[in-house]
Amino acid sequence: MAKVLLVEDDRNLLNTISTWLKMESYLVETAENGDDAVDLLRAYSYDVIILDIELPRLSGLEVCKQFRAMGGSSAVLMLTNKSTIVDKETGFGVGADDYLTKPFHLKELSARLKALLRRSQTLLPDVLRAGTLELDPRSRKLSREGNEIHLPKMEFALLEFFMRYPGQVFSGEALLERVWTSESERSSDTIRSCIKKLRNKIDVDGEPSLIKNVHGVGYKFES
C-alpha cells in the first residue's frame, strides 16, 4: 500500500480525506501546519504528498520548495482554493506535480493520486506474486493456492513492501522509514518481531525463508 503524507489545516477536511484514503488502503500520515510537515519529510519517506497551499507557520508552497531542495522526489499534489493559471504556475515552479481545486470530490482525489503514483512507477500491479503466494493490495488479501492467510495491517504492509522490491536489501531503519508511520511503535525490536510473525505465516516447512537476513545490513525478500 502506498504511504501518503496529508497536510491540511482544516481539521474536518483532514479527517474526511484521511478516513477516505484509509478506506482506499493507503497508509496515511497527517500534519496540520507547514513546520510539522517539513519535520516529517526530513524523517520519513512517502510515496505521495497531499499538500494544502494555505497552511499556518509555513505555506504549502514553501514546504514543497524545501522538500525539493532536500532532494525529495515523491509526487506532490497541491490542494488550493485558487484556480488561476498564475497560482498554478507558481506551484509547478516550486516542484508540485498536480493541482486539485477545492471543493473537490473524493473520487477525483483518488483518481489524481493513482495517476501520480502510476507516473512515478510506484502504483502496484493488481496482484503481486512470489512463488505460490498471491497478494492483492486493493482487497488486502494474501493467499497461497487459494487458501487465505490473514495478516494484521502492519504485517501486510511490510510484506507488500518486500514484494514490491524483491531481491533488494533494506536496513531495519529504512523499513521503519518506508513502512511505519510516526505514530506507530518504531524500533529494531518492532522490525524483528514483525518479520518473525510474517515468517511463521508465509514460510513453508522444509523450505528456505522468503525473508532473508543479510548479515550486518538488513533484510531482503526472495521467492
Measure the CA–CA gap between 218 and 192, rounded to whole angstroms. 10
Kindly state the percentage of the chain with pLDDT values over 70.
Answer: 93
Helix axes 85-93, 60-69, angle to 10 degrees: 30
Residue 214: all three cell numbers together: 543479510
Measure the CA–CA gap between 193 and 67, rounded to whole angstroms. 33
| 3-class DSSP assignment, residue 48 | strand
| Selected residue with higher pLDDT from 17 and 89 | 17
**Would you say residue 107 has pLDDT above 90?**
yes
Measure the CA–CA gap between 189 and 191, rounded to whole angstroms. 5
pLDDT for the residue numbered 48: 94
Q: Indicate the average pLDDT of the chain.
A: 87
Q: What is the DSSP string of 64-102?
A: HHHHHHTT--SEEEEEES---HHHHHHHHHTT--EEEES
pLDDT for the residue numbered 45: 83
**Would you say residue 83 has pLDDT above 70?**
no
| pLDDT mean over 100-126 | 81
pLDDT for the residue numbered 84: 66
pLDDT for the residue numbered 200: 93
Tens-digit pLDDT profile for residues 168-200: 889 888 888 888 877 667 677 888 999 999 999
pLDDT for the residue numbered 223: 78
pLDDT for the residue numbered 131: 86
pLDDT for the residue numbered 183: 66
Query: For the chain, how far is it from start to end, CA to CA, in angstroms?
Result: 20
| pLDDT mean over 103-109 | 93
Domains and CATH numbers, the chain: 3-119 (3.40.50.2300), 128-221 (1.10.10.10)
Tens-digit pLDDT profile for residues 114-146: 888 877 655 455 688 888 899 988 778 899 988
Q: Are 201 and 211 in contact (CB under 8 A)?
A: no
pLDDT for the residue numbered 81: 84
Residue 141: all three cell numbers together: 488479501
pLDDT for the residue numbered 193: 92
| 3-class DSSP assignment, residue 130 | strand
- Check residue 181 and report its DSSP letter: -
| pLDDT mean over 65-77 | 91
pTM for the model:
0.67
Residue 180 backbone dihedrals phi, psi, to 5 degrees: -85, 150
Measure the CA–CA gap between 26 and 32, rounded to whole angstroms. 19
User: Could you tell me which residues come within 8 angstroms of residue 79 by beta carbon, excluding any fewer than 6 positions away?
Assistant: 8, 50, 51, 52, 53, 60, 100, 102, 104
